[in-house]
Structure 1
Amino acid sequence: MYCQHCGKELPEDSAFCRYCGASQGLGDGKKPGKKKAAVAGIVAGAAVFLVILLCVILGGKKEKAAGPSEGTETVRKVQKESQTAEEQETVDAEETAQEEELPAVLGNFVVQRGTRTAALGDRELILYEEEQEVWSTQGTVGNRLMMTEDGLYYAREQTGSSLEYYDFEEKTQTVILGNYMGMEPVGLIGSKLYVKAAGKNDMDDHIIVEKDLSEGTVRELPFPDMWGDFSILTCGDRLYYLGGRTDVSASPLYEGDPATGNAVVLDQQAACGPFVREGKLYYVHCNEPGYDTESIFELTELEPGRGEGRVLLTDTYGEMGWLKSVENGYAVFDCYKDTESFQKVLDLAAGTVKRTDNQGEKSTELIGHDKEGFYYSAYSGEYTNGTWYPPKVYHVYYYNYAGGQIKDMGSVTGRAVGVDRDYIYYASSEDTADAAYGRVPFGSTAPEPVKTETPSDSSDREYILPGSDSRYYRKLDLEGLSAEEIRIARNEIYARHGYMFSTQDLQEYFSGKSWYTPSVPAEEFSEGMLNQTERANLDMIKEYERNTGINQ
Structure 2
Amino acid sequence: MGERKNTTRNSESRLVNGLIITAAILSIAMVAVLAVLIITIVQKNNAGSTPSAKTAKTYGVNTEEALEDTSEESQPPQREAGITDSSSLFTPGSVFVTRGGWTCLRMGSSMTIYQKGQEKYKISGVNDCNFFAADDGVYYTKDFDFCYFSYASGLETVIMKSRETLCPLGMAGSRFLLASSQDDSMEFHIIMYDKETESSITLDLPELWGDVEKIFCNDRLYYIGGRTDVSTRPLYEVDLEKGRAVQIDPACGTGLSSYGSKLYYCSAESAGSLTDSAMTLVELDTETDTKTEITPSSFSQLQKPVWASDGYVYVLSQDNGKELITQWNIDTGSKADVITGHSLAFINSAEDGFYYSSYASEEATLYLFKESTGDIVEIGKASGIIAGYSDGYIYYSVYNDEKQVRQYYRENASHAF
Determine the C-alpha separation between the residues in 1 that align with 2:332 and 2:255: 22
Name the structure where helix makes up a greater proportion of residues.
1
**2:296 match: secondary structure:** strand
Does the Cα contact within 8 Å between 1:342 and 1:363 map onto a contact in 2?
A: no
SS at match of 1:313: coil
- 1:165 maps to what in 2? 148
1:380 pairs with 2:360: yes
The 5 A counterparts of 1:99-114 are 102-114=88-100
Deviates more, 1:116-125 or 1:344-353: 344-353
Quote the Cα distance in structure 2 between the aligned partners of 1:236 and 1:370.
21
- Residue 175 of structure 1 is matched in structure 2 by 158
Secondary structure of the structure 1 residue equivalent to 2:88: coil
* Counterpart for residue 185 of structure 1: 168
Give the whole-Å Cα distance in 1 for the aligned partners of 2:301 and 2:230.
21
2:415 maps to 1:435? no
**Where does structure 2 lack aligned partners over 5 or more consecutive residues?**
1-86
Equivalent position of 2:65 in the other structure: none
SS at structure 1 position matched to 2:300 = helix
Q: 2:114 aligns with which of 109, 128, 135?
A: 128
Deviation at 1:207, TM superposition (A): 1.1
Contact residue 261 and residue 287 of structure 2 kept, 8 A: no
AA aligned opposite 1:375: Y
Structure 1 residue 327: deviation in Å?
4.0
More displaced 10-residue stretch of structure 1: 262-271 or 301-310: 301-310
CA 1:353–1:338 in structure 2 vs 1: closer, same or farther (change >3 Å)?
closer
Q: How far 1:285 sits from its partner (Å)?
A: 0.6
Q: What's 1:368 paired with? A: 348
Q: 2 CA distance for matches of 1:252 and 1:246?
A: 14
C-alpha change, 1:260 and 1:172, in structure 2 (3 Å) is same
In structure 2, the CA distance between the partners of 1:329 and 1:163, relative to structure 1 (3 Å rule), is farther
Contact 1:124 1:136 (8 Å CA) reproduced: yes
Report how far residue 193 of structure 1 moved.
Answer: 0.9
Distance 1:379 1:237, change over 3 A: closer
Given that residues 257 and 305 in structure 2 are in contact (C-alpha distance below 8 angstroms), is that contact kept between their aligned partners in structure 1?
Answer: no
Which of these residues, 309, 312, 320, is aligned with residue 291 of structure 2? 309
Map 1:353-432 → 2, pairs under 5 A: 353-358=335-340, 362-381=342-361, 391=362, 393-431=363-401, 432=403
Is the partner of 2:185 in helix, strand or coil?
A: coil
Q: Of the candidates 186, 190, 204, which is equivalent to residue 208 of structure 1?
A: 190
Report deviation, 1:402. 2.4
Q: Distance in 2 between matches of 1:269 and 1:246?
A: 15
1:231 to 213, 222, 231: 213
Q: 1:260: which partner in 2?
A: 242
Residue type at the aligned position of 2:158: V
Q: Percent identity?
A: 26
Instruction: Write 1 or 2 for the structure with the bigger share of strand.
Output: 2
CA contact (8 A) 1:120 1:141 kept: no
Q: How far 1:411 moved relative to its partner?
A: 0.6
Distance in 1 (CA, whole Å) between partners of 2:380 and 2:145 is 36
Amino acid paired to 1:306: T
SS of 2:253's partner is strand
Deviations 1:316-375 (A, max 9, x none): 24267222233454322222356542322223245332334446xx32211112131111
Tell me by how many angstroms 1:258 deviates.
1.6
- Secondary structure of the corresponding residue to residue 102 of structure 1: coil
CA deviation profile, 1:460-519 (whole Å, cap 9, x unmatched): xxxxxxxxxxxxxxxxxxxxxxxxxxxxxxxxxxxxxxxxxxxxxxxxxxxxxxxxxxxx
Report SS of the residue matched to 1:404: coil
* Contact 1:320/1:333 (8 A) holds in 2: no
Q: CA deviation at 1:246?
A: 12
1:339 and 1:121 mapped to 2: Cα distance? 35
Rounded Cα–Cα distance in structure 2 between residues aligned with 1:241 and 1:421: 31
Q: Tell me the CA shift for residue 260 of structure 1.
A: 1.4
The alpha carbon displacement at 1:289 in A equals 0.4
In the TM superposition, residue 244 of structure 1 has moved relative to its aligned partner by: 4.5
Matched, 1:298 2:269: no
Going from structure 1 to structure 2, the CA distance change for 1:321 and 1:253 (only over 3 Å counts) comes to: closer
Say if 1:276 and 1:215 are closer, same or farther in 2 by CA, change over 3 A: same
Equivalent position amino acid for 1:180 in 2: E
Aligned 8 A contact 2:326 2:337 in 1:
yes
Q: Does 1:146 align with 2:117?
A: no
Matched AA of 2:98: Q
Corresponding position of 1:11:
none
SS in 1 for 2:201: strand
Match of 1:217, as an amino acid? S
Separation in 1, partners of 2:164, 2:379:
40
CA contact 1:245–1:252 (8 Å) conserved in 2:
no
Separation in structure 1 between the aligned mates of residue 130 and residue 311 of structure 2, nearest angstrom? 24
Q: What letter corresponds to residue 425 of structure 1 in structure 2?
A: Y
SS at match of 1:321: strand
Q: Distance in 2 between matches of 1:292 and 1:434?
A: 33
CA shift, 1:191, in A, is 1.4
Contact (CA 8 Å) 1:242, 1:254: kept in 2 or not?
yes
Pairwise CA RMSD: 2.8
| Structure 2 Cα separation of the partners of residues 249 and 293 of structure 1 | 8
After TM superposition, the structure 1 stretch with the greater mean CA deviation from structure 2, 408-417 or 107-116, is 107-116
Aligned partner of residue 382 in structure 2, secondary structure: strand
Measured after TM superposition, the shift of residue 418 of structure 1 is 0.9
Q: Which amino acid aligns with 1:436?
A: Q
Check 1:264–1:320 CA distance in 2 against 1; reply closer, same or farther (3 A cut): same
Alpha-carbon distance between aligned partners in 2 of 1:309 and 1:282, rounded to the nearest angstrom: 10
Structure 1 residue 397, shift from structure 2 partner: 1.0
User: CA deviation digits over 1:70-106, x for unaligned, max 9?
Assistant: xxxxxxxxxxxxxxxxxxxxxxxxxxxxxxx932122
Counterpart pick for 1:116 among 83, 98, 102: 102
Query: Unaligned 5+ residue runs, structure 1?
Result: 1-100, 382-390, 446-552
Query: Pairwise mapping of residues 5-16 of structure 1 onto structure 2 (< 5 A)?
Result: none
Question: Could you say what secondary structure the match of 1:127 adopts?
Answer: strand
Amino acid at match of 1:128: Y
Q: One-letter code of the match for 1:366?
A: F
Cα distance per residue 1:236-294 (max 9 Å; x no partner): 45422112459982222112212211222121112234333211222111001013445
TM-score, scaled relative to structure 1: 0.54
| Alpha carbons 2:252, 2:265 under 8 Å: kept | yes
User: In 2 relative to 1, CA 307–211 (structure 1 residues): closer, same or farther, beyond 3 Å?
Assistant: closer
